[in-house]
Amino acid sequence: MFKKALQDLAYRRKTAGPHSTRLWLAQGRLSTPLRSGRDDKPIYETASKAIRNISVAYPRQKGRGLPNAFKIALNQSLLKRYFLLTLCATLLPAMLPAQTKTLRIAAAADLQPVLPKFISSFEKTSGSKVEVSYESSATLATQILNGAPYDLFLAANRAFPQKIVAANLAVEAQPVTYARGVLVLWARRGVLHDPLTMQSLTEASVHRIAVANPVHAPYGAAAMAAIHSLGLTAALQPKLVFAENIAQAAQFGQSGNAECALISKTIAITPSLTKAGRFVPVPASAYPPIEQGAVVMRNAAHKQAALDFLHYLQSSAGRALLASSGLDAPAR
């Protein structure tokens, strides 16, 4: 940088003479700008060295004081730049639009086809953005207990949100029940004849039945409870294929890795599953109610947005949207 400045200086002296060169130096009119910032001191020291070299090459005339004039010009330049930087740092945040809030939701896998409808409407009315992580309820609860920064936890039962409450990490004293899940039997087209029932799973054409891991997924636990209560454990146990969550169990069926699957109605009614197969509800009396619970995190970054989203799920409009997506209203 200073090499360029000295070249500029030499050119000006050659074309306009030493007197004009000194005047330009004094007025800070070198074409090469000086930077400001953390390395101002090295720049100033380098400039001072350059001034000393200039003073040797062009001896000062009486009363001119070339080096001091240049130092004054340099100091004034740096002060101006510090002033402008400070002004920008103060005013720029106020001039920029406010950053959009991002609501982070931990949601059970059965909600993957459901929440996008809510999110689209919520983002328009609230101005907040929504990010959702879909996993089994057990996996999400473990993440939250280990410090994952979610704002809202929407589980497929009340037991896993209750663990968050017990750890004093939730706003609520008890999980809020926002819906009741529906377990269905889904079968690939052409595998089983009508009528499709749970007893149909004992037929020889069925080799694999996909079920979500009952330890991690509430729908998996409900499926195992239904198999047991209907007296089908011995006949179906060899055919069971366990998936990590309800969405993966559905994928097993859709891909052909299983002929049948015990999954949520929310996933069974999606276009891809209805195209590949058909489903019937599992008798509700065969398994415990799947009460889906939610909690807002005590240390949520966007607590009010989380509360607003939960209230939206519980509103009359929210209940209607949940019903159209395969979830029943919670028992009152």
What is the structure's pLDDT at 92? 53
Tell me: pLDDT of 2 over 50. no
Fold for 182-286, please state it.
Answer: D-Maltodextrin-Binding Protein; domain 2 (3.40.190)
3-state class (DSSP) for residue 129: strand
Which amino acid is residue 197, in one-letter code? T
Non-local CB neighbours of 290 within 8 Å, separated by 6+ positions: 156, 157, 180, 181, 182, 183, 218, 219, 222
Tell me: pLDDT of 36 over 50. no
Give per-residue pLDDT as tens, 164-200: 999 999 999 999 999 999 999 999 999 999 999 999 9
Q: Tokens in use for 298? A: 């005590």
What is the structure's pLDDT at 27? 44
User: Which one is predicted more confidently, 286 or 46?
Assistant: 286
Q: 102-180+290-324 and 182-286: same fold?
A: yes
Q: What CATH homologous superfamily does 102-180+290-324 map to? A: Periplasmic binding protein-like II (3.40.190.10)
* Average pLDDT score over residue span 47-62: 50
118 close to 266: Cβ distance less than 8 angstroms: no
> Chain centroid to CA 281: how far?
34
Question: 116-149 as b/e, with b when 16 or more CB fall inside 10 Å?
Answer: eebbeebeeebebebebebbbbbbbbebbeeeee
Tell me: pLDDT of 215 over 60. yes
Q: Tokens in use for 19? A: 């007197």
Which pLDDT band, with edges at 50, 70 and 90, does 156 fall under?
A: very high
What is the structure's pLDDT at 86? 58
Tell me the domain boundaries of the chain: 2-95, 102-180+290-324, 182-286
